[in-house]
């Protein structure tokens, strides 16, 4: 919750604060939300089930968080909705409208709504427009959280074809005569093992499912390699490959030892210290074929904030990691070690099976 964790966190009241004298449905869910938020930021002051007097009278605050962030006092109001996925469905736009009104009435800095069964499309659009956060809490084994976070997970299944290596010294290519990866060595280790690792890193960092790609690695100092024709000094290593494949969607649930799920950004944030995150009922070889995932999936590699966690599942055919991997990275120019591809054509994100 809080962007910084300082020992000088402050708590303060909004108007005239009073305890709610009567228990109400959903208090157990409010309490576990308060406990998870406290675990996320131990220096914050977290209060649950309080009433304050705003401009239009007494208003209930499900969970109120107060503390400091970047040296400034901040208050966060969390409205809790313990809904049922079948009986009530996800939280609708009317609840976001009500929270927007309450936020103005009690003058908090940030307003969040917490639901483990999700939100309607209208509610999500409205929350984005007015700056209200939508979250879920995760605390494995806690019965007060009746439902795990449901999500649709998108996986890629890719086949790598025609992976080749190119070596150069200056402007002159080294003749390899179609030598296999295992026949080119640096300090006794096959250089092909390093190339395979680089390809795996590249595929993991870019949500591509088809196309042809070439990567060139210029060396800061020439390296002496062993090729079938004998020793060869090189100052550039390149590789080229082609992929085909597609996207698949499947229903899963998320859980964690303690953490938050951001419904707007589709991101996970775990509590400090030892934490575990779980994806339940997932199978990388399962799912329904789709042409293309939502935009938030395609932006996962570039749109990750400090403290967030993103995840993706990828099955690769035709590329088997091999050991040992020669230490080539330290000789490569830093800019050539970048694994995020620039200017990817739009078609590269679309399944081959469409």
Query: Is the model's pLDDT at 299 over the cut of 90?
Result: no
User: What does the block give as tokens for 53?
Assistant: 């007097």
The alpha carbons of the chain give a radius of gyration, in whole angstroms, of 26
Please give the model's pTM, rounded to 2 decimal places: 0.80
Q: 17-49: per-residue pLDDT in tens?
A: 333 344 455 689 999 999 999 999 999 999 987
Query: Is the model's pLDDT at 295 over the cut of 50?
Result: yes
- pLDDT on residue 309: 81
Q: 156-168: per-residue pLDDT in tens?
A: 999 999 899 999 9
Quote the CA–CA distance of 242 and 253 in Å, as a whole number.
34
Contact 258, 212 (CB under 8 A): no
User: What does the block give as tokens for 139?
Assistant: 């605390």
Query: Which pLDDT band holds residue 72 (cuts at 50, 70, 90)?
Result: confident
- pLDDT on residue 54: 55
**Residue appearing with tokens 């800061």:** 220
| 115: number of Cβ within 10 Å | 24
| Mean pLDDT score of the chain | 86
Query: Which pLDDT band holds residue 354 (cuts at 50, 70, 90)?
Result: low
What domains are there in the chain, each with its CATH number?
18-147 (3.40.1350.10), 155-246+317-349 (no CATH)
- Among 64-73, 112-121, 281-290, 344-353, the range scoring the smallest mean pLDDT is 64-73
């Amino acid at each position: 919750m809080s962007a910084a964790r300082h020992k000088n966190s402050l708590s303060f009241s909004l108007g005239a604060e009073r305890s709610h004298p009567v228990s109400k449905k959903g208090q157990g869910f409010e309490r576990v939300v308060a406990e998870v938020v406290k675990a996320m930021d131990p220096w914050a002051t977290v209060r649950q089930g309080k009433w304050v007097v705003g401009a239009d009278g007494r208003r209930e605050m499900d969970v109120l968080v107060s503390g400091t962030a970047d040296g400034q006092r901040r208050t966060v109001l969390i409205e809790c909705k313990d809904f049922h996925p079948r009986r009530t469905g996800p939280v609708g736009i009317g609840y976001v409208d009500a929270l927007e009104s309450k936020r103005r009435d009690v003058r908090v800095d940030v307003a969040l709504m917490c639901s483990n069964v999700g939100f309607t499309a209208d509610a999500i659009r409205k929350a984005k427009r007015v700056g209200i956060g939508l979250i879920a809490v995760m605390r494995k084994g806690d019965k007060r959280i009746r439902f795990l976070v449901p999500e649709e997970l998108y996986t890629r299944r890719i086949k790598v074809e025609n992976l080749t290596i190119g070596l150069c010294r200056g402007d002159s290519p080294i003749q390899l005569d179609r030598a296999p990866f295992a026949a080119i060595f640096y300090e006794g280790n096959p250089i092909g093992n390093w190339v395979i690792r680089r390809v795996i890193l590249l595929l993991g960092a870019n949500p591509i499912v088809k196309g042809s790609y070439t990567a060139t690695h210029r060396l800061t100092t020439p390296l002496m390699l062993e090729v079938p024709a004998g020793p060869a000094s090189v100052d550039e290593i390149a590789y080229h490959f082609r992929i085909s494949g597609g996207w698949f969607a499947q229903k899963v649930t998320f859980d964690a030892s303690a953490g938050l799920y951001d419904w707007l950004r589709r991101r996970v944030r775990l509590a400090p210290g030892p934490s575990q995150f779980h994806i339940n009922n997932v199978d990388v070889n399962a799912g329904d074929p789709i042409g293309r995932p939502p935009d938030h999936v395609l932006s996962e590699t570039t749109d990750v904030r400090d403290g967030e966690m993103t995840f993706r599942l990828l099955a690769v055919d035709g590329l088997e990691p091999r050991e040992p991997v020669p230490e080539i990275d330290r000789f490569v120019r830093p800019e050539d070690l970048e694994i995020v591809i620039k200017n990817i054509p739009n078609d590269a994100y679309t399944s081959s099976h469409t």
